[in-house]
Structure 1
Amino acid sequence: MKKIRIYAILISMLIAAVCTGCGSSPESLYETADMSSAAMDESPRGEVAMMNGAADMADDAGDAEAGEEIVYAPAMEADGEAADFDGGDMAMADGISEMKTFGAVADAPSAAGAPMADGMVADEVAVPRTAEEDEDIITDDPVIEEPIPEEPDIVAEAGMLTAGEWNDNENWGFFSGIVNKDLVSFPSYGLDPTQRIAVTVTNESGETLPNAKVQLLSEDGNSIWNAVTNKNGIAYLFEMDGKKGKSVKVNSASGAESTAPVEKHTDTQSDDAGKVGNCEIAVTVADSPTLYPDTQVMFIVDTTGSMGDEMFYLQSDFGSIAEELNDEHITWSVSFYKDEGDEYVVKGENAFSNDPKYIRSQLNAESADGGGDHPEAVAEALTDAFNNHEWKDDSAKVAFLIFDAPPHDEKAIEVQNAIQLASEKGIRLVPVVSSNAMRETELFGRAAAICTGAPYVFLTDDSGIGGSHLEPIIGDYDVEKLHDVIVRIISETKQS
């Protein structure tokens, strides 16, 4: 048999590999691989051996030396003997002690995935080499890598989030319509705002009386719902759990008293009348208006993991609002909640502060994590907010519930009690619904807002921030900056 120098074969293959590592196109490697494919085969153990067809490559690489046999690098069986191939028995070449693949040679990389014979890829080709050849391949030239640009940090500036505002109490005809048409249904977590009695309190001169305490009484004189008139002299009462109101009792801020009967009639604007109560009562009290100079504002924030996509922006907005609106007659408080099993369930300081920078620092100290299941500790947060914080009797009050998930189902009674207490103290609870909320969250938020005489606020997709935002079932509304909406609501809450 004609003898051929095996090193000519190996050098040809190494040159192809080096060219690839130095920037040769993948196509050139494929051409090399195609030339080698006819000379390669696979052993029964999955290793690659040179076949007799390699002699054709050797003829291109240099002249064959007479009297020398072709040397192969066959796969070895466990006993160290060469495996038998269709091309005949082959012996291990002297001086070749191991098989290496292109992919394992750092300075001679190949294009992974280049086609080879019988479905093989280029980085599976076994290439023996000597120390002298290694020295020829290794270079001292530095490898210049292009720097990977870092993504810019997101600056969560105030005023970036967008929102809409809707007030069901001021759009009662629309609300009645969607309830009567079964587009929405109540109760929601213990709250049924459909049986509403709107009370307007004025004096004999027709002036509206803010801060009057209003009670809805049953036939036996028991209290069903309590509320406080807003600065426009309006309070909203609700028949809950099937309890029917017989009369309304009003006590003005200075102690004057008056009562009026409840003459309730149902909404007749739809074909399915009767689901929504539509009772409006005017009560006259011999007193003059009393306005409170102080305003108390609370932020109740869901800090579970699902709030993470908008948390920085919410912190920036509400922190800046506190600094922007702060004066000697406004105080602030913050409360945070997660869920059972988290780092905490509810956390916050009971006292209100007139230091907006301190409020901002408290907001910024929190991070979004925990939670897990969909409902969160909303009931516990509301119970703590309205029971344990230092609300004054003689102040205008508003609380913002910033959240994306409803309470737990089994907490319905606790939710109802907390909302009733807020209404009794004159605390307007404004929901601020963030991204990825579901319809049940909207209905809970709207019910809580209706029952405390507050508007419903929701973030929108217009900012491009956070996940998708649920479009509520409401009428036309304006898209505004969340910052502007919250500032307006606080300003409308203030009485002087």
Structure 2
Amino acid sequence: MKRLAALFCLALIAWGCMGTKATPPDSSDTVIDEKALASPPTWGMAKESEHAMPDATKRGIVARKKGHPSTPSASGLKAAFADDNRQFNLFLEFLETYKETPHITADVSERITLTVLDSEGLTLPDCTVEISLGGDVVDKGKTTADGIFRTFPTLYADQAKNLTATIRYNQAEKKLALNRHGKREVEVVMEAPRTLPAAVPLDLLFILDTTGSMGEEIDRLKTSIDLINLNLSQLPAKPLIRYGMVLYRDKGDAYVTRVIPFTPELEDFREQLATVRAEGGGDTPEDLESALKKGIDELAWSDEGVRLAFAITDAPPHLDYNHDVSYIDAARTAREKGIKIFSVGTGGLDINGEYILRQISQLTGGAYIFLTYGERGESEGGAPGSVSHHTGANFTSDKLEAVIIKIARNELNHLTTQPGHTDDDYFEGVSGIEKPEKVTEELFNNAVAQLADYASISLSDKPATAILPLASELSTTDSEYLTSALLIAATRHPQLTVVERENTPAIVNEIKLGLSGLVDEETAAEAGRLTGAKLLMAGRVITSGAKADVIIRLVRVETGEVISATRLLMEAGLLPSAW
């Protein structure tokens, strides 16, 4: 009876959401150190929240992300960044929702990610990659520090099904066939060992809108450049840092673009930065495309190492100048050179600017950064002190200079002696504050939302999804309670069509799903045949001290690959056996 009552209560509880409140910006300086950057945080990743706030904590749910500060300082221009390649399905949903926004069409709905490693599992940067169709090269570029190159067949392949990828590193070469119905995440191991220079080159380019409304951002860069340099120069990789700038305004202003070439001399760069003034402007759009051409096409970037550009603006670009190099062309060139562009939305940037900035960053493997001014939830932008951002809640907030430091540090971390860095994200449920059923509901709502947002394929067709019982070492009562919580959360999600689960226990027995909760290509295909599902949601629960550790994966039936994953930690008091 206790188990049935628990399941009944869980089925009746209503959908909840968490509020958010951002810390207002401040102008004081703060020293960033590795200890602070590595402290365990408390931050919210609920579908509608930016941070876990007191009202959320009262409900007994927080979310944690390794490597981010628990209490971001109020100094500096507070920024948040969202990785649209990581939360790929959410990005595709954004593009579709706001498709009437003026922009250049670039269909990225189909994506294949190549991750290139050496024989020891170390990421290989600066591999040249060519994608061929019928013997003709249709896409090309360089792997970045994480060993990744992404290609988007819908941009060039029409109805063709098979592609060929050629990867070269030093004298080694590997060819492989890519099937557009096959895996979306492809790992490539090269024979050649990774070789890096003693001092890894790090190019940092600031593409800076210098019109009259950008004074605060320009002043902040002036006061924080020494802090940025100090933190990056002391990293274990000991990078050889070069700084450069492309300043831009618009036609009719004192200049359209002004270029400060890369220099390894911080003093020289600081002197140039000190002369920058925020002046001119007037109409909203500015000539970002000319700045991208100067910065990406014409500057002398390093041939190896880490190459990062930060495009900082509060205005969308002119799309009516008919430049010979569009912003999409510039993004394509950046991919060829292995440059990641991180766009930074400031001031009153509206949806027109957000849409284009996010296109640029996503295509180049960067992220969209937006300054926060205390607004709640997502922002429509377009007003002073309000930046347009429609990124869900899967973003990190901190000072702008701290975000720049983190991004550069994370890129350099891929080139240390250890295999590539992976984030350790998880949600955590705490007992004894709110009713356990309510905490469990919010945990699984958040988990399913993250699985959907982070899916590496589009879920716009609301694919049929089978929810398999969680493999568990807990009691039958607790195990069935958690599986029911997962089922309810999945059923509520608007992008998933949950299939009937009457025979799923028999299916699990038939495909011999063990305690690991892992589904490989063979078992995924068999489960898909038995259920008619295109996706499987499967996982496992083990005890971790006094907590239940729940790992859940979303699996594509056609290939057996994991397209997203999430993790929950639940105190034992949240489980029916403790009631």
Query: Where on the TM-score scale, by shorter chain, does this alignment land: which range?
Result: 0.5 to 0.7
Give unpaired runs (5+ residues) of structure 1.
1-153, 267-277
* Match of residue 283 from structure 2: 373
What count of residue pairs does the alignment treat as equivalent?
A: 329
The percent of aligned pairs where both chains have the same amino acid is: 28
Contact 1:163 1:480 in 2 (8 A): yes
Structure 2: how far apart are the matches of 1:343 and 1:456? 29
* Match of residue 386 from structure 2: 468
What SS is found at the alignment partner of 1:168?
A: coil
* Match of residue 189 from structure 2: 284
Structure 1: how far apart are the matches of 2:120 and 2:268? 45
The change in CA–CA distance for 1:342 and 1:179 in structure 2 (over 3 A counts) is closer
Pairwise CA distance, 1:301: 0.5
Deviation digits for residues 143-189 of structure 1 (CA, Å, limit 9, x no counterpart): xxxxxxxxxxx967574110111111111233244446x35578933
* Match of residue 229 from structure 2: 322
What SS is found at the alignment partner of 2:359?
A: helix
What SS is found at the alignment partner of 1:406?
A: coil
Contact 2:109 2:154 in 1 (8 A): no
Contact 1:196 1:236 in 2 (8 A): yes
Structure 1: how far apart are the matches of 2:346 and 2:222? 13
Contact 1:190 1:415 in 2 (8 A): no
* Match of residue 356 from structure 1: 266
What SS is found at the alignment partner of 1:195?
A: coil
Pairwise CA distance, 1:235: 1.2
* Match of residue 252 from structure 1: 168
* Match of residue 33 from structure 1: none
- The structure with more radius of gyration: 1
Structure 1: how far apart are the matches of 2:268 and 2:95? 43
- 2:356 maps to amino acid: F
- 1:475 maps to amino acid: A
The change in CA–CA distance for 1:394 and 1:460 in structure 2 (over 3 A counts) is same
What SS is found at the alignment partner of 1:262?
A: strand
- Which of 330, 333, 340 is the matching residue for 2:251? 340
Structure 2: how far apart are the matches of 1:249 and 1:476? 32
- Which of 199, 202, 224 is the matching residue for 2:117? 202
Deviation digits for residues 224-261 of structure 1 (CA, Å, limit 9, x no counterpart): 33222223321112246554474242333313112222
The change in CA–CA distance for 1:155 and 1:474 in structure 2 (over 3 A counts) is closer
What SS is found at the alignment partner of 1:369?
A: coil
Contact 1:210 1:231 in 2 (8 A): yes
Deviation digits for residues 118-155 of structure 1 (CA, Å, limit 9, x no counterpart): xxxxxxxxxxxxxxxxxxxxxxxxxxxxxxxxxxxx96
Alignment of 1:159-170 (within 5 A): 159-170=75-86
Pairwise CA distance, 1:467: 2.1
Deviation digits for residues 433-453 of structure 1 (CA, Å, limit 9, x no counterpart): 111001121111111111111
**With CA pairs under 8 Å and 6+ residues apart, which has the higher RCO, 1 or 2?**
2
The change in CA–CA distance for 1:178 and 1:385 in structure 2 (over 3 A counts) is closer
1:193 and 2:108 are equivalent in the alignment: yes
Contact 1:214 1:251 in 2 (8 A): yes
When you count strand as a share of all residues, which structure comes out higher?
2
Structure 2: how far apart are the matches of 1:370 and 1:193? 36
1:444 and 2:356 are equivalent in the alignment: yes
Contact 1:309 1:467 in 2 (8 A): no
What SS is found at the alignment partner of 1:454?
A: coil
Alignment of 1:379-398 (within 5 A): 379-398=289-308
Structure 1: how far apart are the matches of 2:294 and 2:144? 23
Pairwise CA distance, 1:493: 2.2
Contact 2:165 2:175 in 1 (8 A): yes
* Match of residue 313 from structure 2: 403
- 1:225 maps to amino acid: D
Pairwise CA distance, 1:262: 2.4
What SS is found at the alignment partner of 2:309?
A: strand
TM-score by length of 1: 0.60
What SS is found at the alignment partner of 2:405?
A: helix
Structure 2: how far apart are the matches of 1:369 and 1:452? 30
RMSD: 3.0
Deviation digits for residues 35-55 of structure 1 (CA, Å, limit 9, x no counterpart): xxxxxxxxxxxxxxxxxxxxx
What SS is found at the alignment partner of 2:326?
A: helix
